[in-house]
Amino acid sequence: MITSGLTSSKFRRCTGCKQSRQRCNSRFFSPRESFRCMHACQQMRKVMATHAVLSSGVSAWRSLACEKSELRLDLTLACGQSFRWRETADGHWTGVVGGRVWTLTQTEDTLWYHVYKSNDMHVHRGDMAGKGGVFVDEKNKSQMKCKAAVKKEVVTVNLQHDIEDKTILTDYFQLNVNLKDLYRKWGAADPHFQKVADIFTGVRMLRQDPTECLFSFICTSNNHISRIQGMVERLCEARGSLLCQLDQTSYYDFPSLSSLADSSVEARLRELGFGYRARFLQQSAKQILDNHGDKWLEGLRRVSYSQARDALRALPGVGTKVADCVCLMSLDKADAVPIDTHVWQIAKRDYKYAAANQPKSITEKLHKDIGEFFRNLWGPYAGWAQSVLFCADLKKFQKFKETPHLKREKEDSDSESVVTCKRTNIKSVKKSTVKNKRPKSACQTKEKVCVKEEQVI
């Protein structure tokens, strides 16, 4: 085994990251510079960042006041709206929003967030070099004079970042919308929704980047959530830019339209297992850039729901359901109600919805009719209400339905056992008192009579 690449041309693996030269974590050096590659990877390992955990201390975290009734991370981030979030620790979710990597967690009334800055690695490297005495001279007076000015600049920059981070997070979760009020209105209009809402609180609609939302949902045709997540991650790794690495997990930004429109994209995505979807992704990106420009998708936020949906449906690989998902989850069309087999079954099973002619699959007319049915029932935020029922119908969340039932059963059984115990205690006390009253002997009776006679005398 070759341990150093100083002179050997046969060097195939970096001894720093144990990867082939083509996949080495250090992308700053030519693959031929094996020794430099090895050295860089070893340094990267030393300063490797880890996923933040709130229990390690709150100093590196920021927070927003947000009750769980307004937002449940475990439901909202895992119900199939976005495919970029992973639970990296118990109750901690890490993902990419706005070109930044975040870890989110929550307590009963607070949303906590940690943002990984791209320059954190450089700071750590500088600290390490300083400890070695390479470029830090604490006695240098000119540096000491600059410290105060640098501190002020850093504080100003940090405050700006904090404001930007809060703005991004508030926009992403649409925290300006009062979810409790919406739940109350939907529950008043719909008894079935009220039953579901008692368990599935805090399911909030995300406001995603339109490009990411569109091209992620093109991958959803004939697919399931876990497989879609893998495809989206491979897409980002293949065409996006690296943002950071945490605990050996790399996080990438979502690819730009120009990156997806490249003629080589289809072949590359087919190699990565995208199948026929590879052509739709490349052609849709190219069509948008050729016919509309890179700002067109965001501009659809300013047109009506029907106009936005029809415009999206003109793209390759975008049907009515995908168009409705994009309208609802990124284009501010809260009344868009995406209809798939889950929602169709919900309409039939829970609302006794009967379509004319009983179609075997979801037709264009059926999609429109069910959408109108729910819009009439729930009002202008019908898409948000539908997401709650969709979430409650997913197999992965059935455990939440069982928990309250089990709790009630346990409470009932506990109360019954208490009553039973009390009855048993009473019976045992009675038995013990009965046992204590043993029949008295003749001598005891004679003694009592004698005592009585003595008292009378």
φ, ψ of residue 6 to 5 degrees: the values are -60, -45
Q: 19: which 2 tokens?
A: 């990867």
Strands 110-116 vs 100-106: parallel, antiparallel or unpaired: antiparallel
Tell me how far apart the alpha carbons of residues 84 and 212 are, in angstroms, rounded to a whole number.
10
DSSP label at residue 420: H
Cβ pair 171, 207 in contact under 8 A = yes
Segments in 90-209 forming alpha helices (H): 120-131, 141-172, 179-189, 191-197
By annotation, the residues acting in catalysis are 321
User: Which of helix, strand or coil describes residue 252?
Assistant: strand
DSSP label at residue 115: E
* Residue 149 Cα distances to 122, 127, 146, 152, angstroms: 20, 19, 5, 5
Residue 297 burial (CB count, 10 A): 23
CA-nearest of 186, 119, 243 to 380 is 186
CA-nearest of 255, 246, 110, 230 to 169 is 110
Burial group, residue 97, by CB count within 10 angstroms (0-12, 13-18, 19+): buried
φ, ψ of residue 116 to 5 degrees: the values are -90, 115
Q: Helix 320-330 and helix 382-393: axis angle, to 10°? A: 110
Q: 270: which 2 tokens?
A: 């087919």
φ, ψ of residue 113 to 5 degrees: the values are -145, 145
Half-sphere exposure of 58 (CA within 13 A, CB side): 8
Dump the DSSP string for 150-177: HHHHHHHHHHHHHHHHHHHHHHHTTTTS
Tell me how far apart the alpha carbons of residues 365 and 167 are, in angstroms, rounded to a whole number.
40
Cβ pair 232, 83 in contact under 8 A = yes
